[in-house]
Amino acid sequence: MITEAGRATAQKVSAVLGDLAIAHVYSSPLQRAYATAEVIVAGLPAPRPPLTPAAGLLEIDLPAWEGGLRQEIQAQFSDAYHTWKHAPHQFQMQRKDGQSFFPVLDLYAQATQFWQDILPKHDGETILIVAHNGINRALISTALGFPPAYYHAVQQSNCCVNVLNFAGGWGERVQLESMNLLAHLGTALPKPRPEGKGPRLLLVRHGETEWNRQKRFQGQIDVELNATGLRQAQQVAEFLRSTPIDQIITSPLLRPKQTAEAIHQYHSDVPFLLEDGLLEISHGLWEGKLEAEISASYADLLRQWQTTPETVQMPAGENLDQVWARSARTWDQIVAQATQLSQQKSGPDPWTTVVVAHDAVNKAILCHLFGLGPAAFWTFKQGNGCVSVIDYPHGAGAMPVLQAMNITSHLGDGILDRTAAGAL
């Protein structure tokens, strides 16, 4: 059963979801998840959606470790535990009947089958899934194409909220709008991972510009924040005001620089650095033009950009391979430096670097974390003024952990990202 504290947090989830038109709720049949789902459904406005237990949402099966404390398991099964943590796709275990199996690979197959069974039933609808840490990771990963090797790179906190947008059925585009949101529980950012002494990076997208609002392609044209963007920059600054920050690095363009300067006002004693590698994608001849204007001259190429962006060479501009290369190189350099500084830092808090950049660059960095190429460009949403949290508990060169993605709750618009859906 869930505790009273668990019931209270489930009620908070219900409250934050109350304005969504949820058509159906699916839950793991295990008691801790199903009881959580019952509390959530009971708090939703009438007419309440039906609640269905689904075997496809059962938690990962680890029979040899059930009931054991992490420290005990780590000591008793040291080699297997090392594989579990560092190569989960290769991790094997024996079932109670003595047969060997791969728990993570089996979980990914289970998650894939769940999506294939459920999606055709809810075209155009919003559904709620209440499950467990492991299966949630697998659901997110299979929907977005993250390989099983990255199983531990996705964080899921108790009663967090994730938002996935499916363009259609299984195999069609899926966007991760946000991940591991905790503001409804009174928590700003997830706690750092307890193991290791690696750095934390906060990836921020700049506030809104008038060109974002107009859906005008800005690229490397230096557009300043509009009134909404300046307010968003201040809201980001307030959101991170009590977070220990050791360094701020920003693209030199005015819109991220203004956002970074707002954050810096509350951390004025930390280094403030400009980094050319974080410049937005160059749209070349598209820059300064509205989407409708581009469509008139480059209709086919614009369609390619919207559907297969990895195939597009911007006229007199960049392609995504170039953006990927410089974004990944810059990010890896920042992480390497942060790792060195983190090892030297005293105290319990990790070395924390704020990186302020742009939509396309942030998308490239997030894809880079999971080994995804330019074909996955539209996978991650990055709203104006959003914050994403990436930990490197074991430092540069080891697996990162995406702790939270596209947090926009500090902008005051509820659980969904309601920032401008304008051009890059």
Structural contact between residues 154 and 193, judged by C-beta atoms closer than 8 angstroms? no
* Residue tagged active-site, from 132, 177, 184, 206: 206
Burial class (CB in 10 A: 0-12, 13-18, 19+), 266: middle
Q: Peptide bond before 271: cis, by omega within 30 degrees of 0?
A: no
Tokens 């396309």, residue?
360
Burial group, residue 165, by CB count within 10 angstroms (0-12, 13-18, 19+): middle
Residues 414 and 405 sit within 8 Å (Cβ to Cβ)? no
Cα separation, 226 vs 209, in Å, equals 5
By CB atoms closer than 10 A (0-12, 13-18, 19+), residue 114 is buried
- The tokens describing 217, both together, are 């392609």
Helix (H, G, I), strand (E, B) or coil at 377: helix
Q: Spot the catalytic one: 280, 283, 394, 410.
A: 280
Structural contact between residues 111 and 142, judged by C-beta atoms closer than 8 angstroms: yes
Pairing of strands 200-205, 126-130: unpaired
Residues 6+ apart with CB under 8 A from 214: 290, 422
Note if 264 is an active site residue: no
Helices (H), 58-182: 70-76, 78-86, 103-118, 133-144
Angstrom distance (rounded) from CA 93 to CA 84: 10
Long-range contacts of 105-110 (CB under 8 A, 24+ apart): 105/148, 106/61, 107/60, 107/61, 107/134, 107/135, 107/138, 108/138, 108/141, 108/142, 108/148, 110/56, 110/58, 110/135, 110/138
Pairwise CA distance, residues 160 & 152, whole Å: 16
Give the whole-angstrom CA distance, residue 91 versus residue 419: 41
Whether residue 195 lies in the annotated active site: no
Could you tell me how many helices (H) and strands (E) the chain has, helices first? 12, 13
Provide the 3-class DSSP secondary structure of residue 128: strand
* H or E stretch covering 337: helix 320-344
Comparing C-alpha atoms, which of 350, 356, 343, 348 is closest to residue 385?
Answer: 356
- The residues assigned a catalytic role are 206, 280
